[in-house]
Chains A and B, each alone.
Chain A
Amino acid sequence: MTALTMPTRPRHDASLRPVPWRRMAWVTWRQHRAALAGLAALLGALAVYLWLTGLQLHQSYATYCHPASSLACAINFTGRYGITGNLVSIFLQAVPALIGAFVGAPVLAREMETGTFRYAWTQGFGRWRWALAKLVLLAVAVAAAAGAFSVLYSWFNQPFFAAGYAIPFSTRLFDLGEVAFPAWTLAAFAIGVLAGMLIRRVVPAIAATLAVYAGLASATALWLRQHYMTPLLTTKLNLPSSAWIVSQWYTKGGQFAFGARGSGIVNAVSRLCPSYNGSPAQCLTQHGYTQWSSYQPGSRFWPFQWIEGGWLLALSVLLIAATVWLVRRRAA
């Protein structure tokens, strides 16, 4: 008896209940095993590095930085590890983008590019449920991994904050915070997924994801973030170091004179205090100028994290919903 004449089993009566959602767990895992493994490898390798270096950091801080303003601290701790800390924070900026591009973009782009959607979308599960289940599962996995990683990173950075070398509110470190980092990773994933569905080719979708993410992250850091809450205004010269100074300018006699950066202030200082060695602020206030600072106090750090996390989450949900909608209505 050949295979071609194998006796067949009569199919049992199928009810019209939809195929259970939980089936997609294995499907998603098996199909995206490689991407998830890559994610684990990347974050894992970084985590190992942070762990080992972080131990050294904490040790050094404990040894030298009591008090934190001592010279010993400045030499043995800040001087030795400061640059490392900076480099790590710069490097980690790229991580959400990479995750979004290389995990998110291929999910749908590869199906469209290789034509396997003609298999996947004609199975009994149904195409939009398939897309929704897969995207939600991957989104949760990505966000959870990023969240765990950001907790580790906060631990890593903690000595720098304690020594006053860095503040959480700084531009480079804010989006690596424990709420912002997973939120940005999730948003990058959502951008990648939508780009993949629109562009339908893996490599262009990856490129587009990186570009869009870079644009969005820059726009947020440079412009959007400062407006989450109305900044406070003050004329005090010495602000707490934890505050995020959004902008500073000088007025004289109630009139705006010039901003705290740029040729205006440079000319004024060199004209008024030609051989002065102190800060420009002291020079100018002695000559009747008032320094205004618009700032966000350090206490607003966590509310800002939640605001940023919130709108990024909403954006991600919107992008993923748009993707599922596209899957539902897209013609082959």
Chain B
Amino acid sequence: MYSDQHLRVSDAEREAVSGRLAEHFAAGRLDQAEFDDRVGRAMTAKTRADLRGLFADLSETGAPAVPELPRGGGSTPGGGPRGPGSPIEFRLDTASGVPTYLQLVHQVEHALRLGYLKPGDQLPKVRDVVASLAINPNTVLKAYKELETKGLTAGRPGQGTFIQAGLSQVALPELAGLRKALLGWLTTAGAAGLDEDGMVALFTSALRDFHERRGGSRTRGGAASAETEGVA
């Protein structure tokens, strides 16, 4: 088990590790600072040994050399053995002010990030989403189309919509650079007198504008169609 600790790790492995760390963070074994630190280390890890060190003080049940994607019963994501149908369920926050279709898109991206979804998994059928959330079918179609435009999903006619790629297409040096720039911005903002809420508000507002410009110009030209979504 220890003989391959010198091997280089891949992006997928780093991602998987981040997912495991998120689990531990959610369980309360790590606090925010530790979590950020370890994720940073995971993203810059080069060998399996680097990754192994991240879990040294965290309880594992038979820790494999390369941590598998979370599976199993109880509260771990993925719940039970994978059967037919989609691994995930959508939920709707009516008070959040975020448009419904965006909430669905975010939830898919979030699920990908945390490992609930992996390439090849099927997204819930439009009809099932409509039946459980009581939202307009065109909204679901719009969300699925957005995901397809982002390259995350692909529709198979007559079958459904399936995940085709993972997230984090950003290269690692870029990611580290972005993180550094962000920390710099935060320092400047803090020096200017902005508190945490103020930073969040400013960031959210700018993000919304950014989304509007990018999302608005893209969806106005396209027409919602149902061809990529298979209906049983």
Contacts and interface: CB of A to CB of B under 8 A. Distances in A.
Interface of A: 2, 4-5, 7
Interface residues on B, range: under 10
Contacts of B128: 5
B123 to A, nearest CB: 16
Interface in B85-141: 127-128, 131
B232 interface: yes
Contacts, number: 6
Nearest to A2: B131
A4 B127 CA distance: 9
Contacts of A7: 232
A5 B127 CA distance: 7
Nearest to B232: A7
B232 A4 contact: no
Contacts of A2: 131
Nearest to B128: A5
6 contacts: A2-B131, A4-B131, A5-B127, A5-B128, A5-B131, A7-B232
A2 B131 CA distance: 9
Contacts of A4: 131
A2 B134 CA distance: 14
Nearest to A6: B131
The 4 closest A-B pairs by CB, nearest first: A4-B131, A5-B131, A5-B127, A5-B128
Interface in B136-154: none
A193 B127 CA distance: 48
A2 B128 CA distance: 10
A2 B132 CA distance: 10
Contacts of B127: 5
Contacts of B232: 7
A8 to B, nearest CB: 10
Listed residue (A2, A5, A7) with the most chain B CB atoms within 10 angstroms of its CB: A5
Interface string B197-232: 000000000000000000000000000000000001
Nearest to A5: B131
